[in-house]
């Protein structure tokens, strides 16, 4: 049942033997040890497992690993290069947008997806882009402010 596939995660190619029913989230966390991508609802409702595929934020829990063979997959581990944080990460830290931190990686990936496509979104566009990400701690206010600050270069 297992088949060998090549996954391209954060620019590196991994050869894996996996079953077709494995989701990208399971493979990232269990086979490759990328536990920065968090697992929560598993049903596409919380966004904790958001990764960027081909430039667009998607849900790793509803993506079959087989379906993304050879495609560029970017996880939270891939956005902070050479030990320096991504500006969105810096902004989340500075603006108090992180509390328990469980939703944070997914939230940052969604924000990145938005800002890559639309570098200067307005507040409503930010809110809309983050609507697929569930946060129970912050009330989202400081998260939206953090993303806004990045877009304004603050």
Partner 1 sequence: MRLPKFDYHKPGNIQEACSILKGHNGNARVIAGGTDLLVAMKHRVKAPAHIISLKGIKGLDTINPSSSLSNKDSIPLSPPLSKGNSGEFSSGNDTLTIGSLVTLQSVADADIIKKRFPILSAAADSVASQQIRNMGTIGGNICLDTRCWYYNQSKEWRDARPPCFKTKGSVCYVIKGGNKCNALYASDTAPALIALNARVKICNSENTSKEIPIENFFTGVGEPVNILKQDEIMTQITIPNNSSGGAETRGAFNKLCFREGLEYPVINVAVLLELNKEKICKNAKIVIGAVTSSPVRAKNAEEKLKGKKIDEALIAEAGKTASKDISVIPYLWASPGYKRKMIEVCVGRGIRKALEKD
Partner 2 sequence: MTIKPDKYSVVGKRLPRVDAAIKSTGEAKFSEDIILPGMLFAKVLRSPHAHAKILNIDTSRAEKLPGVKAILLNKDTEEIYAAPDETVLATDKVRFVGDEVAAVAAVDEDTAIEALGLIKVDYEPLPAVFDMEEALKKESPKVHEFYDDNIPDNINVSFGNVEEGFARSEYIREDRFVINPTHSCFSEHHMCVAYFDSSGKLTVWTPIQSSHFIQKNMAYNFKLPENKVRIKIQNVGGAFCGRGSDRTYHYIAALLSKKTGRPVKLRFTSDEEFLVYRGGGKYIMDFKTGVKKDGSIQAVYGNFTIDSGAYLATQFIVLRFLALNLQMLYKVNNAKCEGKLVYTNNPPYFFHHGAGMVAMRFAFGSQLDQIAQDLGIDPVEMNLKNAVTKGYTTPSKIHYASCGLSDCIKKTAKQSNWKKKYGKLPKLRGIGIGCGMIRSGGKGMFLYDTSAAFLKIQEDGTVHLFTGLPDMGQGSYTAMAQIAAETLGIRLEDIIVIAGDTEVTPLDIGAISQRGTFTTGNAVKAAALDARGQIAKLAAGKLETKPSNLIFRDGKISVKNNPEKAMNFSDAISEALNSTEGRYVMGRGFYNPPITAADPKTLEGNSSLAYSFGAQIAEVEVDPETGFVKLLKMTAAHDVGFAINPMAVEGQMEGQIFSGMGQTLYEECLMENGQVLNPSLLDYRTPRPLEIPEIESIIVESNDPYGPYGAKEVGQGPIQCTSQAIANAVSNAIGVRIKEVPITPERVLAALRSKDRDSCKP
Where do contacts with partner 2 occur on this chain (CB under 8 A)? 29-30, 33, 35-43, 45-46, 48, 75-77, 80, 85, 89, 92-94, 96, 98-105, 108, 124, 126-128, 130-131, 134-144
Residue owning tokens 């697992």:
39
Nearest one of 64, 70, 82, 80 to 28, comparing CA atoms:
64
Contact 129/111 with Cβ under 8 angstroms? yes
Residue 143 CB, shortest distance to partner 1, in Å, is 14
CB under 5 to 8 A by kind: which of partner 2, partner 1, none does 103 bind? partner 2
Q: Which does 8 bind (CB under 5 to 8 A by kind): partner 1, partner 2, none?
A: none
Secondary structure (DSSP) of 73-122: EE-GGGTSGGG---HHHHHHHHTT--SS-SSHHHHHHHHHHHHHH-SS--
Q: Which stretch binds partner 1 (CB under 8 A): 7-15, 30-38, 40-48, 83-91?
A: 40-48
């Amino acid at each position: 049942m297992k088949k060998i596939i090549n996954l391209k995660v954060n620019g590196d190619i991994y050869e894996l033997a996996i079953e077709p029913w494995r989701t990208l989230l399971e493979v990232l966390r269990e086979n490759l040890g990328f536990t920065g991508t968090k697992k929560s609802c598993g049903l596409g409702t919380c966004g904790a497992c958001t990764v960027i595929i081909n430039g667009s934020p998607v849900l790793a829990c509803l993506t079959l690993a087989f379906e993304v063979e050879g495609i560029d997959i970017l996880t939270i581990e891939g956005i902070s290069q050479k030990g320096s944080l991504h500006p969105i990460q810096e902004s989340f830290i500075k603006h108090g947008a992180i509390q328990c931190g469980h939703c944070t990686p997914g939230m940052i990936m969604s924000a990145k997806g938005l800002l890559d496509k639309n570098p200067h979104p307005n507040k409503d566009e930010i809110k809309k882009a983050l609507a697929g990400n569930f946060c129970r701690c912050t009330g989202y206010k400081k998260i939206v402010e953090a993303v806004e600050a990045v877009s304004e270069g603050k």
